[in-house]
């Protein structure tokens, strides 16, 4: 078989880029922990200056800087030997309130290498792995990565896109955040709508403890957090029940959706935020889909399979989610309220 040298070199060029990215994952996490990005966002620095400002070793810092410059994450000025971040890079690498917290995402990657041996077993046996069995870096990385998206979109576009929800929250409503994790979305909503009551539910007790501490630090007195699974919380009378990037992980997503419908007021709404996905595999064969299928293989699918769930996965798509909420859970109305490059925002009515 004749080899097309051009195609071979194109593929190898792509693969070497991926290899460099994989090797750089740990370095990004190190740069985040040591404050390198924050200092480079302030001013252009030589390796010696950055090492002095961060109390680190110049020789290691020099190698780190050149790795980052080679990958396009840092700019280099040969004339004076300085490195710096432009405004766009700083927004994603040094600002926890920016539209994407990339170093936070690399905490998730850190966990994936730690669970590799367990993942090998899961691939061979079909077994699962509970959320709580992961390293705590996953919980913090998930909080950081998703919080950035919530900061950028939740109040400005997602809530306004829902039918009448923003007005209710302003007046005073009762809302639940199911699968709340560390409570980033719950607290953001509570601070924005002080007349409303927000309850965050999660079955992972350590995450609920963290959420309670986060709410205390934020002075979000109208947010409280309880340990409960997605079909085990009570209270009812909710005007809004939200699922942020979690329904696809669940062992019984249809049961969780049915329970939400039972807990809603007759004119209440469910807001379902899920990773952006098309309804066919080929529609998701793109950079975002690649990230989501990767996370799904090692986090989302194992969490669902741990309790013999359907393993919807992080690329379930709107059609499959409609089947869950309408055909299986009994919601009478289901629509795409809005979207971002990373998320579908879906609204369901009882």
Does residue 123 share a domain with residue 61? Answer: no
Are 269 and 239 in contact, with CB atoms under 8 Å apart? yes
Domain count, the chain: 2
Does residue 159 share a domain with residue 74? Answer: no
pLDDT per position as a tens digit, 136-155: 999 999 999 999 999 999 99
pLDDT band per the 50, 70, 90 thresholds, residue 286: very high
Look up the pTM and report it.
Answer: 0.93
pLDDT at residue 98, as a whole number: 84
Location of structure tokens 């996490």? 29
Rounded to an integer, what distance in angstroms lies between the CA atom of residue 307 and that of residue 85? 45
CA-only gyration radius of the chain, Å: 22
Does residue 134 share a domain with residue 60? Answer: no
Q: Among the three residues 95, 115, 144, which one is the final residue of a domain in this structure?
A: 95
Residues 6+ apart with CB under 8 A from 254: 324, 328, 329
C-alpha distances (whole Å) from 197 to each of 104, 176, 177, 225 are: 29, 9, 11, 11
Does residue 247 share a domain with residue 193? Answer: yes
Does residue 60 share a domain with residue 197? Answer: no
Does residue 85 share a domain with residue 49? Answer: yes
Domain span including residue 135:
104-349
Please tell me the least confidently modeled range out of 43-57, 85-99, 318-332.
85-99
Does residue 167 share a domain with residue 18? Answer: no
Rounded to an integer, what distance in angstroms lies between the CA atom of residue 72 and that of residue 92? 13
Q: Which of helix, strand or coil describes residue 94?
A: coil
pLDDT above 90: residue 99: no
CA-closest candidate to residue 85, choices 70, 75, 97, 95: 75
Does residue 255 share a domain with residue 144? Answer: yes
CATH of the domain at 285: 3.40.50.150
Rounded to an integer, what distance in angstroms lies between the CA atom of residue 262 and that of residue 77? 61
pLDDT above 80: residue 295: yes
Which long-range contacts link 333-340 to residues 24+ away (Cβ below 8 Å)?
337/158, 337/161, 337/162, 337/271, 338/157, 338/158, 338/161, 339/276, 340/149, 340/153, 340/157, 340/276
Are 92 and 102 in contact, with CB atoms under 8 Å apart? yes
Does residue 289 share a domain with residue 151? Answer: yes
Averaged over 181-210, what is the pLDDT? Answer: 98
Averaged over 281-307, what is the pLDDT? Answer: 97
Does residue 153 share a domain with residue 85? Answer: no
pLDDT above 80: residue 217: yes
Does residue 249 share a domain with residue 118? Answer: yes
Four-point Cα dihedral 281, 285, 291, 295, nearest 10: 20
pLDDT above 80: residue 63: yes
pLDDT at residue 1, as a whole number: 76
Number of H-type helices and E-type strands within the chain: 16, 9
C-alpha distances (whole Å) from 37 to each of 69, 98, 101, 317 are: 12, 13, 12, 35
Residues 6+ apart with CB under 8 A from 335: 346, 347
Does residue 232 share a domain with residue 256? Answer: yes
pLDDT band per the 50, 70, 90 thresholds, residue 97: confident
pLDDT at residue 72, as a whole number: 96
Q: Among the three residues 78, 95, 112, which one is the final residue of a domain in this structure?
A: 95
CATH of the domain at 18: 1.10.10.10
Class of residue 6 by CB neighbours under 10 A (exposed 0-12, middle 13-18, buried 19+): exposed
Q: Among the three residues 47, 72, 95, which one is the final residue of a domain in this structure?
A: 95
């Amino acid at each position: 078989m004749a080899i097309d040298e051009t195609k071979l070199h194109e593929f190898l060029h792509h693969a070497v880029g991926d290899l460099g990215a994989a090797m750089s994952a740990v370095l990004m996490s190190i740069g985040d922990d040591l404050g390198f990005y924050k200092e480079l966002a302030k001013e252009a620095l030589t390796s010696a200056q950055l090492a002095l400002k961060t109390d680190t070793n110049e020789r290691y810092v020099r190698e780190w800087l050149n790795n980052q410059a080679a990958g396009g994450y840092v700019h280099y000025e040969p004339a004076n030997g300085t490195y710096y971040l432009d405004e766009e890079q700083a927004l994603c690498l040094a600002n926890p309130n920016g539209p994407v917290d990339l170093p936070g995402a690399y905490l998730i990657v850190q966990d994936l290498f730690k669970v590799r041996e367990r993942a090998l077993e899961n691939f061979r046996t079909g077994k699962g792995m509970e959320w709580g069995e992961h390293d705590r870096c996953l919980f913090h990385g998930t909080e950081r990565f998703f919080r950035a998206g919530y900061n950028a979109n939740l109040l400005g576009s997602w809530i306004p896109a829902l039918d009448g929800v923003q007005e209710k929250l302003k007046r005073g409503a009762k809302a639940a955040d199911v699968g709340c994790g560390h409570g980033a979305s719950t607290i953001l909503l509570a601070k924005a709508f002080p007349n409303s009551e927000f309850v965050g539910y999660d079955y992972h007790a350590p995450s609920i403890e963290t959420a309670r501490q986060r709410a205390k630090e934020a002075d979000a007195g109208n947010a409280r957090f309880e340990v409960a699974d997605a079909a085990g919380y009570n209270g009812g009378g909710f005007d809004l029940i939200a699922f942020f990037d979690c329904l696809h992980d669940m062992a019984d997503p249809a049961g969780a959706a049915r329970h939400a419908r039972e807990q809603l007021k007759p004119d209440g709404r469910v807001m379902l935020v899920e990773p952006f996905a098309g309804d066919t595999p080929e529609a998701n064969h793109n950079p975002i889909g690649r990230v989501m299928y990767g996370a799904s293989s090692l986090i989302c699918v194992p969490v669902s399979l741990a309790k013999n769930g359907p393993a919807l996965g992080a690329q379930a798509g709107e059609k499959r989610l409609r089947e869950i909420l309408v055909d299986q859970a009994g919601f009478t109305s289901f629509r795409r309220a809005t979207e971002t490059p990373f998320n579908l925002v879906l609204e369901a009515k009882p």
